[in-house]
Amino acid sequence: MGSNRVVVYKGPGEVEVESIDYPRLEVPKEVADHFRITQKAPHAAILKVTTTNICGSDQHMVRGRTTAPVGQTLGHEITGEVVEAGEDVLFVREGDICSVPFNIACGRCRMCEEGKTGICLNVNPARAGAAYGYVDMGGWIGGQAEYVMVPYADFNLLKFPDRDQALEKILDLTMLSDIFPTGYHGAYTAGVTTGSTVYVAGAGPVGLAAAHSAQLLGASVVMVGDMNADRLRQAESFGCVGIDLTTDGTLEEKIAEVTGDPEVDAAVDAVGFEARGHGADADEAPATVLNDCMGVARAGAGIGIPGLYVTGDPGAVDDAAKEGTLGVRLGLGWAKSHHFMTGQCPVKQYNRKLMNLILHDKADIAKAVRATKISLDEAPQGYQQFDSGAAQKFVIDPHGMAAV
C-alpha cells in the first residue's frame, strides 16, 4: 500500500484522479510548525474510504471561483473504514465504519469545548476552522480518494454501531459528513419548528437537505426556490413546493400563492456567493438570496445561511465582491429584527442524532437528494454533470463497498 489515488483540481473546469503518497499518521507540516506541535500524530487514524461525495463547495473551487491552487486535492465529505489507528487512539478500532465530519477539530481548544467545531483554533494557520481538501483550510489532504488520514480520531470520528447495517444504509449515512447536518443546521438556526412556513433558496443538495430537515423539524409547508426545473421537480418529489424563479412575479407574490401570506416564519440561504438575480437570463448578483430572505422572512424571523460565502473570489462581478463585500440590505434585516447564522456547520452538534434518524428509518436523505453512486475514475464526469445542473448528489465509491 505505497500509494493513494485522489481527485485533484487541475484548473478551471478540470479535475483528474492522480496518485499520491499513501497517508501517514502526520499532520500537515504548516500546521505543526505554526502551532509548535510535533508533526507525528499518534492521535490519528487512516481510513479506507467507503464513500466520499462531490459537494457544491468543491464546485466553487473547480469553477475557478476561489483562490485554490492547481494541484489542490479535493473532498471533504468522507465515510470510511478504519484500517490503522495511532497508539493514542483508544476508542475506535480497525474495522469500524465511521462518518468523518468535514470540520477538522482538535477537541481541546476553547471553541471545541464550546461545541463550535467548525472554528477550531488549532488546526489551520490561516484562520479558525479547517476542512479536508479545501483551499485555505489548513493543507489537509482531500478525501475524494482511496484512503485518508483523520487527526484526533477519537474526537472526530462517529462510529456506526453495526457494520452490516451501515453498509446497507451507506447512501444515507454518507450524507452525515456534511450536507445533512449542514442543511439541518440551516433550518434549525432559522428557527424552524412545528407548523413553521419555510422558504429555502436553492434546490441543490444542501437546499434539498435543508428542506428535508425542515420537514423533520415539523414545518407545515416548505417552499424551495430555484431556476433549474429538474431540481425543482426533485424538491417536489418529497413533498416540497417548488418556486420557479425564472417566471414573472415577485418572490413575495409566489409565496403568497402557496400560503396566502407573502412572508414566512423562517428562511434558508442554500445558494451562497454565486447567486443570480431573478429571471431566466439573470446575471450574477451575489447578494440576491440574502436580500430575498430578508424580504420574505417575517419580523422577528431567523435566516439560516449554510450557503458558502468567501473572502476571495477572483471571478466575482466587481471588485467589492472579489473580497466578499456584498450589497446586503442590512437595514431591512435590522428593521425586521431578524437573526442570522452563518459559517461552517458544526457537524458534531447534529451528526449522531441524525444518524439515529437514518438507522431507525425516520429520515430518507439519500432519496431527498437523489444520491447517485459513481466510481473514483468517474469523478471527473460527476463534476461535469453536477456543474451542468444535474438534480443528483454524486457519491464516489472508491472500493466498490457501497450497496446498490
Q: Do 18 and 70 reside in the same domain of the chain?
A: yes
What range defines the domain where residue 142 resides? 3-178+346-396
**Residues with Cβ within 8 Å of residue 120, at least 6 apart in sequence:** 103, 104, 105, 106, 109, 111, 112, 128, 129, 130
| Tally of structural domains, the chain | 2
Looking at the predicted structure, is the pLDDT value of residue 404 above 70?
no
Q: Is residue 385 part of a domain?
A: yes
Shared domain for 316 and 197, answered yes or no, is yes
138 inside domain: yes
Nearest Cα to Cα of residue 24 among 45, 50, 48: 45
32 inside domain:
yes
Q: Give yes or no: residues 264 and 307 share one domain.
A: yes
Whether residue 358 sits in one domain with residue 246: no
Classify burial at 183, counting beta carbons within 10 Å of its beta carbon; exposed 0-12, middle 13-18, buried 19 or more.
Answer: buried
Q: What percent of the chain has pLDDT over 70?
A: 99
pLDDT tier, 258 (very low <50, low <70, confident <90, very high otherwise): very high
At residue 348 the predicted structure's pLDDT band, cuts being 50, 70 and 90, is: very high
pLDDT band of residue 279 (cuts 50, 70, 90) is confident
Query: What tens digit of pLDDT does each residue of 183-205 get?
Result: 999 999 999 999 999 999 999 99
Residues 245 and 154 in one domain: no
DSSP assignment string, 176-225 = GGTHHHHHHHHHHHTT--TT-EEEEE--SHHHHHHHHHHHHTT-SEEEEE
Task: Convert the pLDDT of each residue in 52-102 to its tens digit.
Answer: 999 999 999 999 999 999 999 999 999 999 999 999 999 999 999 999 999
pTM of the complete model: 0.97
**Mean of the pLDDT values across residues 267-284?**
93
Same domain for 66 and 112, yes or no, is yes
C-alpha span between 291 and 266 (Å, rounded): 14
Give yes or no: residues 363 and 270 share one domain.
Answer: no
Rounded average pLDDT over 243-260? 97
SS (H, E, C) 115-155: CCHHHCCCCCCCCCCCECCCCCCCCCCCCCECEEEECCHHH
46 shares a domain with 128? yes
Q: Identify whether residues 173 and 59 lie together within a single domain.
A: yes
Number of H helices, E strands in the chain: 16, 15
| Domain shared by 48 and 184, yes or no | no
| 248 and 378 part of one domain | no
CATH of residue 388's domain is 3.90.180.10
pLDDT over threshold 80, residue 249? yes
On whether residue 155 sits in a domain, the answer given is yes
Whether the predicted pLDDT of 147 surpasses 90: yes
